[in-house]
A and B are shown apart, each in its own frame.
Chain A
Amino acid sequence: MADPTVRLTGVAKSYGAVRALAGVDLAVDAGVCLGLVGHNGAGKSTLMHVLAGTLAPDSGSILVDGVDRTAGWSVAAAHAAGVRCVFQELSLCPNLTVAENARVFHPGLRGLGWKRRAGRLIMDRLDHMFPGHGIGAGDTVGDLSIGRRQMVEIARAFTVTDAPARLVILDEPTSSLDSVAADQLLDAVRHATREGIGCILISHLLGEILAAGDRVVVMRDGSVVADRPAEGLSRDALVEAMGSVARPDAGAARQTADRAGRAPMASAATRDRRGREGLTVTAGKGEIVGLAGLAGHGQTDTLLRLFRAAEGRRVAGVSVEAPAAFIAGDRQTEGIFPLWSIARNVTVRSFPAVRRRGLLDPDRERALAEEWRRRIGIRTPDVANPILSLSGGNQQKVLFARALASEAEIVLMDDPMRGVDVGTKREVYDLIRAEADRGRCFVWYTTEMEELVNCDHVYVFRDGGVVADLPASEFTEQKVLQSSFEAEGAA
């Protein structure tokens, strides 16, 4: 039997303390479409970047046609070996035309008449894969709709000049396509595999995976946990495989207080990308509300809408009854002020409280910061130290202190625990619960399933809208996965 086109063995990759890939084995044969599924942080994207040559693995090997190519594996080597990647974020040059973008992909398209040849190359593919696409070779990509850009990007991955296309990786390729184009794409994938091209299809639409895939690989926590033929596989079995083995302990499951008759402090109606109305997120006094689902499906957007409404701006479908504070997840770019002291970083949200005669009063500032250092356990000898002297987890605590020290009664959290150590997490969970018991209300977007057990209500997002509202008593990981991965049309 022939060697698989590409085989990964024992590929591992860590980002600091976070293990993104823990020794993955994966083989893709010629003419096989492999469906790849997994929840947030399962390691799919990292794995794809390793395959495409944009990330070097810490250990493990990459074999092409049975030959070890780990040393010197790069973007150029991957391209020469016929590995093509359509990344989730669009990677066309918006200022170039469709034909010029095809040229970017093919170093061999040069010399007189290259524009014509590049145009014909990409248009042939587009006509083949997406009949009736309505795109011209001379159109500037920036002028095209998102869906058409995605078509160009996908078609480009299948074009062939000097290097063959042997393995095409499609990361959420249908996310911006309408249903007609999505069906065309799946047909094209099946057609390509019949011609002997291997495909890896990553999608959160399990129906798609089961329809187009020959084999389905499930990833969880950086490892492959299941690798089965698609035939005879059911959606439920896939969802089952994606969940973690560890059950949340029964004691942690919270009893949800009856919501009837209480006015919510904040509520936001949701609507998915196709304009269908979703459920409404509501949060009442003393409640911790979790926003779940796959990353980038509208959770942050909902938090921002709530925040804008709390600032007094009018936002359609959102009502907020109390001041709100926002805790950013991306600490470095939107959370901390890197040049300021710890104290100033804590009090920046509460300047009115530490002001005297219109000027900041250093004593009050210090007192407020000192109080929160004690209450939240920020590990520093002096709050006047620069914020960067703290570890990541303690910097995150400062951001919590900033929100909690303010007058805000609603705290919006945008996946704030990314890359925070377990000990700190536990402390913060307790703090959130204590503050909720005092009457504050938390809206908490998290990508980590375990954190949802701390919530009174969990709203699951898909495609921008809320598709499920699970009170704590009904919350299970299974249900969250089930809702996040619902097949197209089932809703």
Chain B
Amino acid sequence: MSDSRPVPALPGRASLGAAAVPRLLRAILPGLALAVILVAIFILQPRAMSYFGLNLLLNLSIPIVFATLAQMFILTVGDLDLSVGGMVSFVATVSVTYLAEQPVLGVAILIGAIALYACVGALIELRRLPAIVVTLGMSFVWFGLAVLVLPSPGGRAPEWLIALMAWKPPVIPLPILAALLIAAIGHIALMTSSYGAILRGAGGNARSIARAGWSMLRVRMTLYALAGFMGVLSGLSLTGITTSADSNIALRYTLISIAGAILGGSEFVGGRVSPIGAVLGALTMTLAASFLSFLRLSPDWQIGVQGAILILVLALRALINAWSARASRRRAGTAAP
């Protein structure tokens, strides 16, 4: 391959620029939603605009961010994971019991949980089962195991975990630092690494990936293992904050993680995912809950408001899509002889 070939002027490039505008709009939509809700909170409660305020506001966001990333890895290949909440609850119960008392056994159980996730991925791939059914079944398995490990609420998280989650880094509050770090790592793993391209390609056109000689089994197992790893981190960070656990502590995480990932620009069709967007979506979902308390509304409305935000953002996205489709039709119309 010669490097000396000059890049020729490309006459057709201009028309592609038009497709980039709606894509850019879609990409900034999650950030926009977060900014809007943050500004609304600051207006209602200016004291939230401080290191301490943000820390308090976003305290519970870290486990939700991890759970959303877990969901996003599953969405990458076009599947849906209904067992995130169960898995996170299980990890939480293990971390306040085995991990605190017998660390070696505790770590082994957590590694086993990740391996089980990878096996679920293998099962779905090999038997061509619908992921939504398998993971729904697995959610009962996880919750059942969680009840076995911790029949009644209680336990105590390991001190190092509590200390880690209580850490106050200088200048930037921990939840924001964690979100930045997670977004960066997720972005590198999925969007810029060379195997990440294969993982996303598998969601876009699995047959083409298989025809190029890649193992779809390995792809699915990798993604499920990554999701399992994120689930473990979610459970650990959750118990670090709450210091004790309950067998259905993360019951709501399944739906919140789906909502957060979709809010962040992921789509159910597979292959269209965004780690940075997923982090932003998870933060938005967390803030939506706090927003209500500032409005002095009953927490009963929480799910409803989270749903309303989701619908609003999806409606905006649909509008952008319709607009870009119309624009491209118009372009095609003028281009025809």
Contact = CB atoms under 8 A, between A and B. Distances in A.
B211 A134 contact: no
Given A96-B200, A101-B201, A109 B194 contact: yes
Interface residues of A, number: 41
Interface stretch (A125-133, A314-322, A338-346, A368-376): A125-133
A475 interface: no
A76 B211 contact: no
Given A75-B213, A127-B8, A110 B195 contact: yes
Contacts of A93: 200-201, 204-205, 208-209, 271
Interface in A77-105: 79, 85, 87, 91-96, 100-101, 103-105
A337 to B, nearest CB: 21
Contacts of A104: 197-198, 201, 208-209, 212, 214
Interface in B1-34: 1-3, 5, 7-8, 10-13, 15-16, 19, 23
A72 interface: no
A52 B207 CA distance: 14
Interface in B173-216: 192, 194-195, 197-198, 200-201, 203-205, 207-214
A368 B285 CA distance: 58
A374 B204 CA distance: 49
Nearest to A103: B197
A312 B135 CA distance: 44
A135 B13 CA distance: 7
A127 B5 contact: yes
Contacts of A94: 204-205, 271
Q: Which of A54, A96, A135 has the most CB of B within 10 A?
A: A96
Contacts of A96: 197, 200-201, 204, 271
Interface in A47-95: 52, 54, 74-76, 79, 85, 87, 91-95
Interface in B133-156: none
Contacts of B8: 127, 131-132
A196 B334 CA distance: 42
Nearest to A89: B207
A92 B214 CA distance: 14
A132 B208 contact: no
A107 B211 CA distance: 13
A275 B201 contact: no
B10 to A, nearest CB: 5
Interface stretch (A114-122, A215-223, A264-272, A295-303): A114-122
B171 interface: no
A91 B205 contact: yes
A124 B5 contact: yes
Given A127-B8, A136-B16, A95 B212 contact: no
Given A91-B211, A92-B205, A134 B5 contact: no
B67 to A, nearest CB: 24
A111 interface: yes
Q: Which of B11, B197, B203 has the most CB of A within 10 A?
A: B197
Q: Which of B1, B2, B19, B203 has the most CB of A within 10 A?
A: B1
Nearest to A101: B201
B298 to A, nearest CB: 42
Nearest to B76: A95
Nearest to B337: A275
A139 interface: yes
B201 A114 contact: no
B336 A79 contact: no
A124 B205 CA distance: 25
Contact of B201 (A100, A110, A127): A100
A107 B204 contact: no
B224 to A, nearest CB: 20
B210 A134 contact: no
B12 A134 contact: yes
Nearest to B335: A145
A130 to B, nearest CB: 11
Interface in A306-342: none
B5 A75 contact: no
A110 to B, nearest CB: 4
B195 A95 contact: no
Contacts of A87: 211
A76 B13 contact: no
Contacts of B11: 132, 134
Nearest to B2: A124
A450 interface: no
Contacts of A54: 211
A139 B16 contact: yes
A279 to B, nearest CB: 22
Given A93-B204, A139-B16, A79 B197 contact: no
B201 A95 contact: yes
A95 B204 contact: yes
Interface in A19-38: none
A94 B271 CA distance: 9
Contacts of A115: 192
A192 to B, nearest CB: 15
Nearest to B209: A104
Nearest to A142: B204
Q: Which of A109, A115, A134, A275 has the most CB of B within 10 A?
A: A134
Given A75-B211, A91-B211, A132-B11, 18 more contacts: A74-B213, A75-B210, A79-B212, A93-B201, A93-B208, A93-B271, A94-B204, A96-B200, A104-B197, A104-B212, A121-B1, A127-B7, A127-B8, A131-B8, A132-B10, A134-B15, A135-B12, A136-B13
Interface of B: 1-3, 5, 7-8, 10-13, 15-16, 19, 23, 192, 194-195, 197-198, 200-201, 203-205, 207-214, 270-272, 336
10 contacts: A74-B213, A87-B211, A93-B271, A103-B194, A121-B1, A124-B5, A127-B5, A127-B7, A136-B13, A275-B336
Interface of A: 52, 54, 74-76, 79, 85, 87, 91-96, 100-101, 103-105, 107, 109-111, 114-115, 120-121, 123-124, 127, 131-136, 139-140, 143-144, 275
The 4 closest A-B pairs by CB, nearest first: A134-B12, A95-B204, A95-B271, A93-B204
